[in-house]
């Protein structure tokens, strides 16, 4: 159970109602966007449910797979959020326009919590993307550490075309992955990036035929789990910190992490 996050009442909403399925099998958690008839459109309740999963992830979980049921990974924010009526129990952008700036920003920050935990060093998150990943869908894929795309995947940062900005944590990973110029071009044209290009510019680790997506995710997950857990956590922490450190600082961080590893392994 989770709590509706944005506007409206704070009523309890079941994960089924927010369009998510969540399964844990040993060290692997799988989150499935599960409203295929609406192309897995996301609401604030979806993001609240994602945050709830992150807050309560069982300690043994090492890999989190984020996938979508049906033809599309996700068509982004539920377009009802742009209507005056909004989504029942969750309000709308129109009703949020009356909030003062800081109240609105708090609500966005609450929604962002659903995405941010996917970068935690103690897990590796993998997005398995087929079909459309638009707006919030693209940002959810970007929130993951790794992306495997089906060859029919189409990524689009549509927000600027709708008069909005991408605000669900996607701008930083996008710039980190493709560079500032390409990120500006992709966002400000709101064009579609197809799978082959996505792989070429660093938005995907792997592109496979649509039917092979589940098998490719299984293979990657298996390979990730074959690595020593503590070494994986420490290495991810090192890699995540690298861009913010000088070479000397990074070398010192490597030495610190290695000292801890050697102590754990040999003392
Ligand atoms: N919200 C709510 N419902 C949606 C939806 C969305 N984002 N996207 C699709 N649906 C619904 C359609 O209304 C349709 O419902 P009905 O059967 O009841 O009519 C059903 O899903 C199937 O849709 P399509 O027939 O259009 O499916 P398709 O496979 O031909 O096309 C698509 C798929 C290209 C994703 C197309 O549906 C589409 O363009 N959707 C809208 C995408 C969009 O603009 N998203 C918002 C991006 S911005 C954002 O996420 C963040 C932000 O603004 C802050």
Domain count, the chain: 2
Give me the count of residues in the chain: 267
Same domain for 237 and 255? Answer: yes
Residues 128 and 166 reside in one and the same domain: yes
CA of 39 to the centre of ligand 1 (A): 6
Q: pLDDT tens, 42-55? A: 999 999 999 999 99
Can you list the alpha helix ranges (DSSP code H) found in 2-71? 44-55
Q: Could you list the residue range(s) of the whole structural domain that residue 238 is in?
A: 229-266
158 in the same domain as 239: no
Q: What is the 38 CA–ligand 1 centroid distance (Å)?
A: 6
Q: Is residue 50 part of a domain?
A: yes
| Co-location of 238 and 212 in the same domain | no
Considering the domain architecture, whether residues 177 and 212 belong to the same structural domain is answered as yes
- Same-domain check for residues 88 and 158: yes
User: Quick check: is 150 in a domain?
Assistant: yes
197 and 74 share one domain = yes
CATH number, domain at 202?
Answer: 3.90.226.10
Same domain, 219 and 234: no
Establish if 2 belongs to a structural domain: no
This model of the complex carries an ipTM of 0.98
Ligand 1 center to residue 95 CA distance, Å? 21
How is residue 122 written in tokens? 């103690």
Q: What is the pLDDT of residues 9-18, one digit of tens each?
A: 334 455 545 8
Task: Give the Å distances, CA to CA, from 146 to 5, 11, 92, 122, 177.
Answer: 27, 34, 31, 14, 11
Of 19, 38, 75, 153, the residue with max ligand 1 atoms within 8 A of its CB, to mutate for a pocket test, comes to 75
pTM of the model: 0.95
Q: What band does 156 get if pLDDT is binned at 50, 70 and 90?
A: very high
CA of 237 to the centre of ligand 1 (A): 37
Asked whether residue 93 falls in the same domain as residue 151, the answer is yes
DSSP string for residues in 159-185: GGGGT----SS-HHHHHHHH-HHHHHH
**CA–CA gap between residue 52 and residue 221 (Å, rounded):** 23
User: Is residue 45 one of the residues assigned to a domain?
Assistant: yes
| Pair 171, 211 in one domain | yes
Claim to verify: residue 66 and residue 178 sit in the same structural domain: yes
Residues 195 and 111 in one domain: yes
Give the per-residue pLDDT at 99: 81
């Amino acid at each position: 159970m989770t709590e509706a996050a944005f506007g409206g009442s704070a009523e309890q909403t079941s994960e089924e109602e927010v369009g998510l399925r969540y399964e844990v099998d040993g060290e692997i958690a799988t989150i499935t966007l599960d409203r295929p008839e609406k192309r897995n459109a996301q609401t604030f309740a979806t993001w609240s449910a994602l945050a709830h999963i992150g807050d309560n992830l069982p300690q043994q979980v090492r890999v989190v797979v984020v996938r979508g049921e049906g033809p599309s990974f996700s068509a982004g924010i539920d377009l009802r959020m742009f209507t005056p009526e909004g989504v029942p129990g969750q309000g709308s952008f129109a009703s949020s326009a009356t909030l003062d700036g800081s109240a609105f920003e708090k609500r966005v920050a609450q929604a962002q919590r659903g995405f941010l935990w996917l970068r935690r060093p103690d897990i590796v998150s993998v997005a398995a993307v087929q079909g459309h990943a638009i707006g919030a869908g693209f940002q959810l894929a970007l929130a993951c550490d790794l992306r495997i795309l089906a060859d029919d995947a189409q990524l689009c940062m549509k927000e600027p075309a709708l008069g909005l900005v991408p605000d669900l944590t996607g701008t930083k990973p996008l710039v980190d992955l493709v560079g500032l110029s390409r990120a500006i071009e992709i966002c400000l044209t709101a064009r579609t990036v197809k799978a082959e290009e996505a792989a070429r510019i660093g938005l995907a680790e792997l592109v496979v035929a649509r039917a092979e997506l589940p098998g490719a995710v299984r293979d990657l997950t298996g390979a990730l789990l074959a690595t020593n857990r503590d070494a994986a956590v420490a290495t991810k922490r090192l890699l995540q910190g690298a861009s913010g450190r000088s070479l000397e600082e990074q070398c010192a961080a490597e030495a610190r992490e290695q000292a801890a590893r050697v102590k754990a392994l040999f003392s």
